[in-house]
A and B are shown apart, each in its own frame.
Chain A
């Protein structure tokens, strides 16, 4: 009846199980490499600015296209193109913050209003990219290489570099948050913006730095997504809800949670592709998100306990 389901691989032999594990490990890690940094960036943005920015997906797109511009039009090596793209995307983020969001935040509108506004901003970015590059897909100009078996993994050299960069940058961000003055300022502003003002912290500056970091991470994520797949105007928008799934799984304002959430989501997605049905890969991320929201809305690292009673509690609730 359902032809889509016929594609479900069946791993019955020992060999098959081994290969499935290899797939899961390799593909899971690669998907993780594309999700982790944007997820961390989005987490920092939400942690500090306290609203959900739906334009973030399109900032990821912008990062990929800026690197593409450098890589294809100016014939710059992809590594340097990535660095330039990080800088330009960060600038874009700061620009958007100063022009659109700053005034609204100062007017003390609610987080939902900012969310709706960011929707409009995302629409603008996506379509500017569309006008600039057209609807067709692009690829970075990188040498084509075959993947090799390395222990339980199956990667190309570029992919190994990507995973390493991803892990190193994530660790760098954690160290920055923990041990630098900027990290302290970001945590303080996240804890209590008005107390930060009293203490003499210029929260506007903190917001600016946060956007620089968040958009820089978005650019890396966009380039990685482009390296694995293709670059097209809708790429970030498609990834956005998956990024939110990563955040919600890990606890929305927890940077460690964002990365671990990305890891869990990536493996859940690839496991779904291997064992259930490839088209439902993305759905599995959403379902994971709903499940977490149902039993532990603060994420797996949240303080509250798992609330199984929510499953049925609503039937009885009288207040």
Chain B
């Protein structure tokens, strides 16, 4: 059973066509990675799923339901969330306020506080920084906050855009473990990553995106063994 199905997708910005003829599946409870070089259209793909780009052709369905016409602001209601790569937090809001923005539409106070507690349990550093302006956080803390915000809606499918970009190498491993833990708790993940080696180690299956098209699709383990892949993407 696929939680997300993308079929024959063309999308881009304005008149610039970036993604062409793209088809991707994410399995229920699966962990799918998309790897590829800079400018391959990875971020565009996630933004397209989240209705932030112009879609010219194709369908995107979530749990069998077409979501191409749902506005970005309503996608988090149906169990989807997205952690963008850059500017993934509101720098002028405090950590608490950022998390509160994660569940804007949630009316019940108990649900909010229980989710808040779960995020604080998962990332204890955020609780310490509770009232601090998010703009003053370190890179790793920002990523934790961004993921934490996304978890505030308790999503079934989480789109992650290069969560480790710009982080110190020592932090990367830890963050990936956190992400993998999300998956083992039953959340489906779609991860876009340039650090292909790391991504392939943790993901179940992976797509290789190049020039706006899917070049290869296989189980992560197989790809990790493929010599061509190693030569192209992992040697960097």
Contacts and interface: CB of A to CB of B under 8 A. Distances in A.
B82 interface: yes
A187 interface: yes
Could you tell me the dominant secondary structure of chain A's interface residues? helix
B90 A187 contact: yes
A198 B97 contact: no
B201 interface: no
Contacts of B23: none
Question: In which size bucket is the chain A interface?
Answer: 10 to 19
B73 A192 contact: no
A200 B76 contact: yes
A267 B161 CA distance: 50
Interface string B135-171: 0000000000000010001000000000000000000
B72, B76, B87: which has the most chain A beta carbons within 10 Å?
A: B72
Instruction: Give the residue among B87, B103, B104 with the most A Cβ atoms within 10 A.
Output: B104
Contacts of A187: 90, 92-93, 97
Given A191-B90, A192-B87, A184 B101 contact: yes
Contacts of A213: none
Contacts of A198: 50, 52, 72, 75-76, 81-82, 84
A199 B76 contact: yes
A108 B15 CA distance: 13
A215 to B, nearest CB: 24
A202 interface: yes
Nearest to B91: A191
Contacts of A188: 90, 93, 97, 101
B101 A201 contact: yes
Given A184-B100, A185-B104, A188-B101, A197 B72 contact: yes
Contacts of B52: 194, 197-198
A195 interface: yes
Interface residues of B, number: 29
Interface string B7-20: 00000001000000
Given A194-B52, A195-B84, A195-B88, A200 B93 contact: no
Contacts of B102: 199
A99 B82 CA distance: 31
Contacts of A199: 76, 101-102, 104, 149
Interface in A165-201: 181, 184-185, 187-188, 190-192, 194-201
Given A198-B76, A199-B102, A200-B105, A192 B90 contact: yes
A89 to B, nearest CB: 27
B216 interface: no
Interface in B53-110: 71-77, 81-82, 84, 87-93, 97, 100-105
A214 interface: no
7 tightest Cβ-Cβ pairs between the two chains A and B: A197-B72, A200-B76, A191-B90, A188-B90, A202-B73, A197-B73, A198-B82
Interface of B: 14, 50, 52, 71-77, 81-82, 84, 87-93, 97, 100-105, 149, 153
18 contacts: A187-B93, A188-B90, A188-B97, A190-B92, A191-B91, A191-B93, A194-B72, A195-B88, A196-B73, A196-B101, A197-B72, A198-B52, A198-B72, A198-B75, A198-B76, A199-B104, A200-B75, A200-B76
